[in-house]
């Protein structure tokens, strides 16, 4: 290889090297801002200054700006000309109704398709339910006997386990486009958690309803899982409406 080729190769390598670190930095900033949105430290309507966030996170303004653009697409953040970015207001009653309507359409369809793969699904669904139960147990311990509310950092594992139970069924449906559609609702489910008071969580009800869905799959009756999922989503919607 000539020195010219070596130099050219080194130049190409140098030009590619920053891509992954920059993406990792942007993703890290995205996660940090997302946690601020969900833990209440950046409440709905509050301003999100690029420079102040960059100083707080000890990064340059560029990854902050890129992360805010991503968050704007999720609906968690809004941008107004000449005013910059703000935390989006909580979901309105109409938006909540539409969110649960869409979840019902997509998740019941996923259940209908997943029943054909019940034998493969059941071990994974049992494991997902066990993780959800364990996460709920940890939240109860953190709350103590008086049931004091916990902050989002304490609830992160619980929320992730709750959503993973649903995603386990959705993946078992075997339709990548259905999976992508449901997973895109994940950020809106996060917005839902902005709306609901952390002190009025439905730990017991959610665990019981997930157990009913699991038991319905175990019957091998194709109708029962669909009914159990529909009942669960309707119950969550009622609880959220009551909290609001």
56 pLDDT more than 50:
yes
Question: Would you report the helix, strand and coil content of the chain in percent, each value rounded to 5?
Answer: 75, 5, 20
Of the candidate ranges 5-9, 58-62, 125-129, 178-182, the one whose mean pLDDT is the lowest: 5-9
Q: For the whole model, what pTM was predicted?
A: 0.76
**φ, ψ for residue 16, nearest 5 deg:** -90, -25
136 pLDDT more than 80:
yes
- What does the domain layout of the chain look like in residue ranges? 3-87, 93-243
Of the candidate ranges 44-48, 82-86, 200-204, the one whose mean pLDDT is the lowest: 200-204
Task: Identify the residue with better confidence: 92 or 10.
Answer: 92
Quickly state the pLDDT bin for 123 (edges 50, 70, 90). very high
DSSP string, 155-213: HHHHHHHHHHHHHHHHHHT--HHHHHHHHTTHHHHHHHHHHS-GGG--HHHHHHHHHHH
244 pLDDT more than 60:
no
Task: Identify the residue with better confidence: 6 or 227.
Answer: 227
Residue tagged 């398709």 (tokens): 113
Residue 84 β-bridge partners: 80
**Closest of 215, 233, 234, 235 to residue 225, by C-alpha:** 215
Neighbouring C-beta atoms of residue 99, cutoff 10 Å? 18
d(CA 238, CA 232): 10
Task: Identify the residue with better confidence: 22 or 192.
Answer: 192
Quickly state the pLDDT bin for 15 (edges 50, 70, 90). very low
Percent of the chain with pLDDT over 70: 81
Neighbouring C-beta atoms of residue 165, cutoff 10 Å? 23
Query: How are beta strands 77-80 and 47-48 bridged, if at all?
Result: unpaired
3 pLDDT more than 70:
no
Q: If you average pLDDT over residues 56-63, what whole number do you get?
A: 93
Quick one: pLDDT at residue 198?
Answer: 45
Q: If you average pLDDT over residues 54-71, what whole number do you get?
A: 93
Contacts of 107 (CB under 8 A, 6+ apart): 166, 169, 170, 182, 229, 233
CATH of 3-87, one of 1.10.10.10, 3.60.15.10, 3.40.1210.10, 3.40.50.740: 1.10.10.10
77-88 pLDDT tens trace:
999 887 899 998
161 pLDDT more than 70:
yes
Fold match flag (3-87 vs 93-243): no
- Per the CATH hierarchy, to which homologous superfamily does domain 93-243 belong? GntR ligand-binding domain-like (1.20.120.530)
Quickly state the pLDDT bin for 39 (edges 50, 70, 90). confident
Contacts of 211 (CB under 8 A, 6+ apart): 129
**Closest of 71, 59, 53 to residue 22, by C-alpha:** 59
């Amino acid at each position: 290889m000539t020195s010219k080729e070596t130099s050219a190769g080194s130049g190409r390598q140098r030009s590619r090297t920053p891509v992954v670190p920059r993406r990792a930095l942007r993703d890290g900033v995205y996660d940090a801002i997302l946690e601020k949105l969900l833990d209440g430290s950046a409440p709905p309507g509050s301003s999100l200054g690029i420079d102040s966030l960059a100083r707080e996170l000890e990064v340059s303004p560029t990854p902050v700006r890129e992360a805010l653009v991503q968050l704007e697409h999720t609906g968690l953040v809004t941008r107004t000309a000449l005013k910059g970015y703000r935390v989006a207001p909580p979901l309105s009653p109409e938006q909540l109704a539409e969110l649960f309507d869409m979840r019902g359409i997509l998740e019941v369809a996923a259940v209908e398709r997943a029943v054909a793969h019940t034998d493969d699904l059941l071990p994974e669904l049992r494991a997902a339910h066990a993780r959800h139960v364990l996460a709920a147990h940890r939240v109860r311990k953190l709350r103590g006997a008086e049931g004091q509310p916990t902050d989002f950092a304490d609830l992160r594992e619980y929320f992730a386990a709750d959503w993973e139970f649903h995603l386990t069924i959705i993946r078992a449906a075997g339709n990548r486009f259905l999976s992508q559609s449901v997973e895109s609702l994940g950020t809106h489910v996060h917005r839902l958690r902005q709306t609901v008071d952390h002190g009025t969580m439905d730990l017991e009800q959610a665990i019981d309803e997930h157990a009913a869905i699991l038991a319905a799959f175990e019957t091998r009756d194709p109708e029962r899982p669909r009914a159990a999922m529909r009942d669960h989503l309707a119950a969550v919607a009622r609880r959220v409406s009551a909290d609001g």
